């Protein structure tokens, strides 16, 4: 009933899936429009704050403090939740977390649950595990509902259905909902159809399952931020609430939470303040669920914490800002990454959470993900908690080829040998000048093997007519 963080094991590795996405004109158009709109609005929202960089530094410092003392903060959280009537469960991996949640749902006598959008539950494949156990999980976030009804896969952290346009959404609703045969593709009608479909589920559900954006160690409070109000319905109406939370989502105090409630909305939805911020602390008699269970999920996070370079990926607050500025993501979409965590953050988080897998196909995907980047650095510039994604990508690339003899590693070793000697480097420059003879308009279109490994998918710029060393000698003596 469990799986590792690479949830779509049937998907190809990144290069193959990316090529398929690049050929999908509709997909690329949807992505380009959506990401351009989001990042433009985000830039304007961030520019309003004169202390934005100081906020980023504060967010980084708070997260690093938590990660450095994670064991003590988790114990503090457990004590606070228990003191307020909640029950804390510890899950080492996906299988254990799914088993705990299914058991709790069965104990509550429910055969159907409503869900707040949660990447942690998607990471562990909770919906599928519940289905195997005879329990239906209903996604209540609009975008997640679109993905679920379309038998699709999410492609964005914040907007899971970003790859769909409204005409495609209308067709999905018509095929999977009753009484909407005349539904148009206007946003208002689509939202109303989803509202009517979900309202019945909210009023009848005994159990709700949520993720968590943050948890305050001092008070045991759990926080979910969302834009539609569906989360508020899930967190107040059912009798039992089960929250699945990655162990890295902690903040020490309420004053620390204040920093992230400024960073997150501007970085994700380009809003000054989040529309719905729901906070619950244990169980309150007469108000909200009668039972609260908090499942603390490891699932590779402890092993990630052990990597001094890679651990900074655990700072992530799932804002998706890095996706919206990434040139690779904009052209391939999130599904090409083969993981619930797409884009730049997924390229560094997924390989670490899934390290040590025994499945060859999954291992191949994990090794390929850190190469899904141009290393332009735009992701680091927008990250609200200053995760140096390019540095982690380079670090993970090194680990992926360590001890192997791939064409890339052989080529880099040869380049290293050449560059260690000025004489060898000059000889290589003269040899490369031959490429100008077969170039057209400054580009080499085709090379024999092993150069064909490059030119099969991209052009090779022809060498300059004069090397920098020759120019220097000619102009500076």
CA-wise closest residue to 193 among 204, 181, 203:
181
Q: Which helix (H) or strand (E) holds 79?
A: helix 70-83
CA distance 27 to 31: 6
Residues with Cβ within 8 Å of 164's Cβ and at least 6 positions away in sequence, in order, are: 30, 146, 150, 152, 172
Under DSSP, the state recorded for 229 is: S
Calculate the dihedral angle through the C-alpha atoms of 32, 276, 119, 352, rounding to the nearest 10 degrees. 80
Is the dihedral angle over the CA atoms 96, 101, 102, 108 positive or is it negative?
positive
CA distance 273 to 369: 33
Q: Are the C-beta atoms of 78 and 102 separated by less than 8 Å?
A: no
Architecture of the structural domain at 14-301: 3-Layer(aba) Sandwich (3.40)
CA distance 358 to 123: 18
CA distance 273 to 260: 11
Q: Which residue has the tokens 């997150």?
A: 264
**Given this model, what pLDDT does residue 251 score?**
98
Domain assignments of the chain as residue spans, ordered by start: 14-301, 421-476
CA distance 144 to 150: 10
**Given this model, what pLDDT does residue 16 score?**
62
* Residue 231 burial class via C-beta count within 10 angstroms: exposed 0-12, middle 13-18, buried 19 and up: buried
Q: Which runs of E-coded beta strand occur in 153-260?
A: 207-210, 214-216, 221-226, 240-246, 250-251
**Given this model, what pLDDT does residue 460 score?**
87
CA-wise closest residue to 333 among 102, 51, 8:
8
Q: Are the C-beta atoms of 299 and 122 separated by less than 8 Å?
A: no
* This prediction's pTM: 0.85
Print pLDDT tens along the chain (477 aa).
444 444 433 334 455 666 666 677 777 788 888 889 999 999 999 999 999 999 999 999 999 999 999 999 999 999 999 999 999 999 999 999 999 999 999 999 999 999 998 999 999 999 999 999 999 999 999 999 999 999 988 888 888 888 888 999 999 999 999 888 889 999 999 999 999 989 888 989 999 999 999 999 999 999 999 988 888 999 999 999 999 999 999 999 999 999 999 999 999 999 999 999 999 999 988 788 999 999 999 999 999 999 999 999 999 999 999 999 999 998 888 888 888 999 999 999 999 999 888 888 888 889 889 998 999 999 999 999 999 999 999 999 999 888 777 776 777 788 899 999 999 998 998 888 888 888 888 898 888 887 887 788 788 888 888 888 889 989 997
- What's the gap between Cα 214 and its chain centre? 16
């Amino acid at each position: 009933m469990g799986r590792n963080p690479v949830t779509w094991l049937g998907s190809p590795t990144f290069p193959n899936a990316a090529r398929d996405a690049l050929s999908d004109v509709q997909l690329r158009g949807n992505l380009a429009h959506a990401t351009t709109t989001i990042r433009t609005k985000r830039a304007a929202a961030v520019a309003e704050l004169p202390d934005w960089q100081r906020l980023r530094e504060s967010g980084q410092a708070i997260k690093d403090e938590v990660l450095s003392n994670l064991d003590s903060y988790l114990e503090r959280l457990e004590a606070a939740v228990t003191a307020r009537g909640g029950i804390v469960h510890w899950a080492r991996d996906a299988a254990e977390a799914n088993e705990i949640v299914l058991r709790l749902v069965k104990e509550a006598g429910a055969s159907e649950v409503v869900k707040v959008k949660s990447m942690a539950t998607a990471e562990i494949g909770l919906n599928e595990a519940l289905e195997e156990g005879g329990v239906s999980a209903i996604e209540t976030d609009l975008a997640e509902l679109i993905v679920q009804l379309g038998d699709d896969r999410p492609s964005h952290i914040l907007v899971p259905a970003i790859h769909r346009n409204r005409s495609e959404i209308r067709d999905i609703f018509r095929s999977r909902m009753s009484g909407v045969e005349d539904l148009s593709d206007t946003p208002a009608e689509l939202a109303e159809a989803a509202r009517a479909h979900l309202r019945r589920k909210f009023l009848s559900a005994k159990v709700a399952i949520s993720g968590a954006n943050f948890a305050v160690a001092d008070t045991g409070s759990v926080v979910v931020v969302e834009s539609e109000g569906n989360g508020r319905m899930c967190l107040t109406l059912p009798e039992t609430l089960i929250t699945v939370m990655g162990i890295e989502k902690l903040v020490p105090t309420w004053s620390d939470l204040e920093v992230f409630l400024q960073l997150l909305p501007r970085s994700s939805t380009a809003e000054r303040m989040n529309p719905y911020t729901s906070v619950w602390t244990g169980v309150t008699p007469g108000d909200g669920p009668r039972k609260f269970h908090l499942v603390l999920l490891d699932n590779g996070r402890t092993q990630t914490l052990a990597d001094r370079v890679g651990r900074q990926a655990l700072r992530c607050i799932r804002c998706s800002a890095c996706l919206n500025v990434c040139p690779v993501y904009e052209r391939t979409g999130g599904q090409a990454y083969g993981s619930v965590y797409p884009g730049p953050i997924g390229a560094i988080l997924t390989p670490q959470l899934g390290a040590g897998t025994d499945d060859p196909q999954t291992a191949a995907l994990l090794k390929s993900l850190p190469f899904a980047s141009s290393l332009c650095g735009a992701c680091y510039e927008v990250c609200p908690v200053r995760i140096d994604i390019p540095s982690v990508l380079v670090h993970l690339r090194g680990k992926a080829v360590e001890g192997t003899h791939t064409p890339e590693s052989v080529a880099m070793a040869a380049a290293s040998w050449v560059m260690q000697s000025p004489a060898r480097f000059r000889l290589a420059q003269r040899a490369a000048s031959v490429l100008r003879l077969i170039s057209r308009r400054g580009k080499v279109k085709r090379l024999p093997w092993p150069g064909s490994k490059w030119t099969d998918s991209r052009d090779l710029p022809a060498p300059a007519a004069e090397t920098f060393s020759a120019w220097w000698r000619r102009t500076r003596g």
